[in-house]
A and B are shown apart, each in its own frame.
Chain A
Amino acid sequence: MIKEMLTGNAAAAWGVRLAEVDYVPAYPITPQTEIIEMLARWISNGDVDTKFVTLDSEHSMITAAGAASATGVRVFTATSSQGLLYGFEMLYTVAGWRVPLVMVNVSRALSSPITLEPDHNDILAARDAGFLQIHCETCQEVLDSVLIAYRLAEDERVLLPVLINMDGFHLSFTREPVEVPDREQVVRFLPPYRPKHAFFKASQPMAQGTAVIGGSGYSYFKYQMHFASMGALDVYREVSEEFGRLFGRSYNTTEGYMIDDAEYILIMTNSFSTLGKAAVKRAREKGVKAGLLRLRLLRPFPELGIKEAIRKAKAVAIVDQNISVGKGGILYSEISSVMYNEKERPLLLSFIGGLGGKTISSEEFEFIFDRMIEAVDTGVGKVPYLLYTEMEWKEMEKLKNVAGKGNKNYSNCRGETHNITEHGKE
């Protein structure tokens, strides 16, 4: 075991190297490129016995990855943002093939306007495809998740592909100390891939992905996928426990931070959770019983864990780094649906922040806690707020002036003279 300073991307590549992956079909996209470049370098040096092929698009890349996986080799690939969406059709197809492909998505906001920095509209768009989803906060977690993902995907009770998500730039290019285990250590957790399920070979003809006409076949197979995904929660717990025993680190389906006695809880995912945890600490110093719940598994959705964690709180703020246009935050809807039938349930508030890599500042977190306390006083949650600081607003005004749009009166979308503007009031 060695400890190295690794970026999130490098940590992902190390995970792949340790998993002794056979095949990497690739297509470049920022900010994912570092992962496949590192792998290409190792392959070219003979450090790993892996075949690397550059495909003509993400659509082709995911197809080749899935087809190779169906033929019985361990496969890895990675993408981001527009690339994930370009390959979107094949996410559903590959999941339907029930193959244990592992893919990293380095989150990046979606066009248009085009941008490079992260939010979660790309990965959350993929939530219904049949891939399991693991969302990472740290570089260490990225490496560990790759190993966990193969165990999970290759388990015969699961046999579904896995997407591992990390934030572009904020995690993909952030160096953190990462423990890189030895291969011998990894083998005990993740043995070489010898699939027992059907794969393509001459002596055993097999038809995969055949048409089903009439609907009953389709419903059956889709529901089988749903069962497998729901069952993956238990398999995940087993796998995570074993990982903990061997490596001394384990990751639950959700992570609670100062949550046991918390009255005001933030729900977040991925690397911005670190900002949220700092905010919780500051709130605690001021006497607010704050806590944070980080969702690590997004599919299957860890409903029980969420219910248990937030049931007793007074208010819960869901910070969505995504926007479902015409609805609001995606996770807010998901959490609401989990809590609706609960007798005991907190007020739920929805905040949309950190879109397109925009940070969430400490004053914005203060604003969130203030709104939660206010909501408990009035007894009403309020949805959704767009987080936007006064400084960001001024900056935006300046940009609009340069673009020649500054003279028009846009103040109607600005809201109050608060240092944070509120949107979405009905």
Chain B
Amino acid sequence: MNITTIKSIKDIPQEENLSPGTPTCAGCGGLLSLRHCLKVLGEKIVVVNAAGCFTLLAVYPFTPFKSSWLYTAMACAPAGAQGIRDALDILIRKGRLDSKENLKVVVLTGDGVAYDIGLASTSGALYRNLDFYYICSDNEAYGNTGFQSSGATPFASKTGTTPIGRISPTGLELSKKNLFEIWRSHTPPYLATISPAHPVDLINKFKKAEQYKGPKLFINLSPCPAGWVTDPSHSAKFARLAVDTGIWALKEAIYGEVKHTVVPKSFKPVEEYLKGQGRFAHLFKPVRQEETLKRIQEMVDQYWDNVCSRESRKR
């Protein structure tokens, strides 16, 4: 199938399906991406939401969406998507709803839901090959409750539940769950990571996903000024640094086959990304935690060593 891809930022569709003036924090990386996602998804969608920052997008009687919205509960947005998808299919098949009235079903969650409490219901929806979009806004912690550690929180991050103290100078001692691989093991037709700093890549991925029936999943690394303790005007900068340092790999998997879509020509040191973020400040002050910094760099290097060797073998 021919997919029209866009080449530059100038080709991004002009239409807006998300009104300005939402109650999200200034510089919300999740919202930056969501705006772009909705440009491709269009108006004929129903957003199924689980508890998270985006729940507060629609506060009675206002909604910033041109489309429909259903808030479910924290653990079960994919199950809500199942009910709506099945019901629409039934209504259309039985001739009780015009197919023009059909909707794309889009699950919108944060990382707390996607990595933790909602993992079972997502796995169920993937297993059932549900025809839906899933967008995870990953700000690497429970942001809406004030930034506590989640399954998406990276090693050495400071959060409300992994504070820096005499006994724990490092912050979180665990590593971020690999949600991409968890989802990939279900071999959905389309799975990708996206970034608000790469809107062209993002839009092309959504356009590509459109052609597949079944689960289409996106993990968006969403800079969170409130939790990351960064300046709201620096969100795009940190999103870009995450890609340039190799910490956030932009990739896609079509039926499980992985391809990296943006590979930096030369990787910047991870320090450039970590520095300037309040959640990692303890790695630099009052003393530089050399061991920890080294370990983070090694984790990133190891990942890319595997990628390059694997992909070069393919060539």
A70 to B48, CA, bound (A): 12
Known A-B contacts A200-B103, A212-B59; A59 and B83 likewise in contact (beta carbons under 8 Å)? no
Q: Interface SS of chain B: helix, strand, loop or mixed? A: mixed
Interface bin, chain A: 35 or more
* A-binding segment of B87-95, B220-228, B292-300, B306-314: B87-95
Which parts of B87-146 form the interface with A (CB within 8 Å)?
87-91, 94, 96-97, 100-103, 120-121, 123-124, 127-128
- Docked-complex contact A213 and B59, CB < 8 angstroms: yes
Total interface residues on B, CB under 8 Å, equals 48
A123 to B93, CA, bound (A): 36
Known A-B contacts A51-B86, A202-B44, A207-B68; A63 and B63 likewise in contact (beta carbons under 8 Å)? no
Known A-B contacts A25-B83, A70-B84, A194-B96; A209 and B124 likewise in contact (beta carbons under 8 Å)? no
- Docked-complex contact A71 and B87, CB < 8 angstroms: yes
- Docked-complex contact A60 and B82, CB < 8 angstroms: yes
**Looking at the complex, which one of A49, A67, A90 makes contact with B70 (CB distance below 8 Å)?**
A67
- Docked-complex contact A209 and B83, CB < 8 angstroms: no
Of chain A, the residue at the smallest CB distance from B103 is A202
Q: List 7 A-B contacts (CB under 8 A).
A: A22-B87, A60-B82, A60-B120, A64-B83, A97-B70, A205-B66, A210-B58
Chain A nearest Cβ from B162, distance in angstroms: 27
B248 within 8 Å of A (CB atoms) = no
Binding site for B on A (CB under 8 A): 22-23, 25, 49, 51, 53, 55-57, 59-61, 63-73, 75, 89-90, 93, 97, 194, 200-203, 205-213, 217
Which parts of B119-178 form the interface with A (CB within 8 Å)?
120-121, 123-124, 127-128
- Docked-complex contact B128 and A22, CB < 8 angstroms: no
A57 to B46, CA, bound (A): 23
Chain A nearest Cβ from B164, distance in angstroms: 33
Contacts of A65 in B (CB 8 A): 83
The interface bits of chain B over 46-88 (1 if a CB of A lies within 8 angstroms of the residue's CB, else 0) are 1010000001101111010111111111011011111110111
Binding site for A on B (CB under 8 A): 43-44, 46, 48, 55-56, 58-61, 63, 65-73, 75-76, 78-84, 86-91, 94, 96-97, 100-103, 120-121, 123-124, 127-128
- Docked-complex contact B76 and A68, CB < 8 angstroms: no
Of chain B, the residue at the smallest CB distance from A70 is B70
- Docked-complex contact B124 and A206, CB < 8 angstroms: no
Chain B nearest Cβ from A66, distance in angstroms: 7
Chain B nearest Cβ from A385, distance in angstroms: 40
Q: Which of B88, B102, B127 has the most CB of A within 10 A?
A: B88
Chain B nearest Cβ from A175, distance in angstroms: 33
- Docked-complex contact B71 and A210, CB < 8 angstroms: yes
